[in-house]
Structure 1
Amino acid sequence: MLVSTKGRYALRVMIDLAEHPTDGYIPLKLIAERQGISEKYLESIIKLLVRARLLTGLRGKGGGYRLTRSPEEYTVGSILRLTEDSMAPVACLEPGAKACEHASECRTLTLWKGLDKVINDYLDNITIADLIHTNPDEYDYII
């Protein structure tokens, strides 16, 4: 599993908006400036987040974007599953993958299923609120 730039930037956008809840709707330009991300690239990420109803947008003067829920209600796992093609550690565990013809005798399948569970459980137990209120070094786990 390799998290793409899109996934990392989506998390940064969500954190940025969560850190500025009283600012109302935040213009895309301001988010891009604060995060050092190209506005053009950020547009595609924002569209994805709006389509999934993680954000809401308002056009015109005073427009921009804001979270639809509180930061505690967004998990890192749910955001990354939205932006990534797959979070699976191996191809046979990807969503919609054909059943592997070697699955019945695969000595490593249990290992990969366990790793997939650990990854998803870990990411589903960290919220955007957790990322705002903690020291980044706290998430330096060794598995």
Structure 2
Amino acid sequence: MKISTKGRYGLTIMMELAGKFGEGPISLKSIAERNSLSEHYLEQLVAPLRNAGLVKSIRGAYGGYILSKEPEHITAGDVIRVLEGPISPVDFTEEDDPAKRDLWLRIRDSIASVLDSTTLQDMVSFQDPGKADSYMFYI
């Protein structure tokens, strides 16, 4: 399964909203500018997220979008399923070899497990263990 720009940019929108959760609405224009993305494309992606109840739109001069739930209650799987559809590495039928079908099912279940156990809060709070601490020491 290859995640398209719909899923990747959708997660970008959701992570931006999660990072500013509780601070008021965020405009798609500001998200687009911060991430060098097309505002028009983000508008197309936010509609299904709103229809699925993951985000709320706020009208007005200081409007924008907010998460409908706390970031720890929305998973990457929620976002990917709304924008990409069901999680499946391959299309297979009942006539397929049972051993291959079992492999595809285990792969699907593993992907779903990772996506469903990773919340927006996890993604926003992630710190790359390979990067040095942000502390600077001068001698």
1:114 aligns to 2:106 (yes or no): yes
For residue 90 of structure 1, what is the aligned residue in structure 2? Answer: 90
* Residue from 102, 108, 132 that aligns with 2:95: 102
For residue 40 of structure 2, what is the aligned residue in structure 1? Answer: 40
Displacement, 1:136?
Answer: 4.3
After the TM superposition, which residues 2-13 of structure 1 pair with which residues of structure 2 at under 5 Å, given as runs? 2-13=2-13
Unpaired segments ≥5 residues, structure 1? 93-99, 139-143
For residue 16 of structure 1, what is the aligned residue in structure 2? Answer: 16
For residue 95 of structure 1, what is the aligned residue in structure 2? Answer: none
- Taking only aligned residues, the RMSD between alpha carbons, in angstroms, comes to 1.6
Q: Do 2:72 and 2:122's aligned partners in 1 also have CA atoms closer than 8 Å?
A: yes
Structure-2 separation of matches of 1:106 and 1:24: 51
Letter in 1 for 2:110: V
1:73 aligns to 2:73 (yes or no): yes
Q: In structure 2, do the counterparts of structure 1 residues 118 and 36 end up closer, same or farther at CA, with 3 Å as the change threshold?
A: same
For residue 52 of structure 2, what is the aligned residue in structure 1? Answer: 52
Identity of aligned residues (%): 38
Q: In structure 2, do the counterparts of structure 1 residues 106 and 21 end up closer, same or farther at CA, with 3 Å as the change threshold?
A: closer
Q: Do 2:21 and 2:70's aligned partners in 1 also have CA atoms closer than 8 Å?
A: no
Would you identify which runs of 4 or more consecutive aligned residues in structure 1 move more than 4 Å? none
For residue 97 of structure 1, what is the aligned residue in structure 2? Answer: none
Unpaired segments ≥5 residues, structure 2? 131-139
Q: How many residues align?
A: 130
Structure-2 separation of matches of 1:5 and 1:137: 26
TM-score by length of 1: 0.84
Structure-1 separation of matches of 2:41 and 2:19: 21
Partner-residue secondary structure (3-state), 1:108: helix
Structure-2 separation of matches of 1:101 and 1:19: 43
Q: In structure 2, do the counterparts of structure 1 residues 137 and 10 end up closer, same or farther at CA, with 3 Å as the change threshold?
A: farther
TM-score by length of 2: 0.86
Partner-residue secondary structure (3-state), 2:56: strand
Q: In structure 2, do the counterparts of structure 1 residues 75 and 44 end up closer, same or farther at CA, with 3 Å as the change threshold?
A: same
For residue 125 of structure 1, what is the aligned residue in structure 2? Answer: 117
Structure-2 separation of matches of 1:6 and 1:136: 24
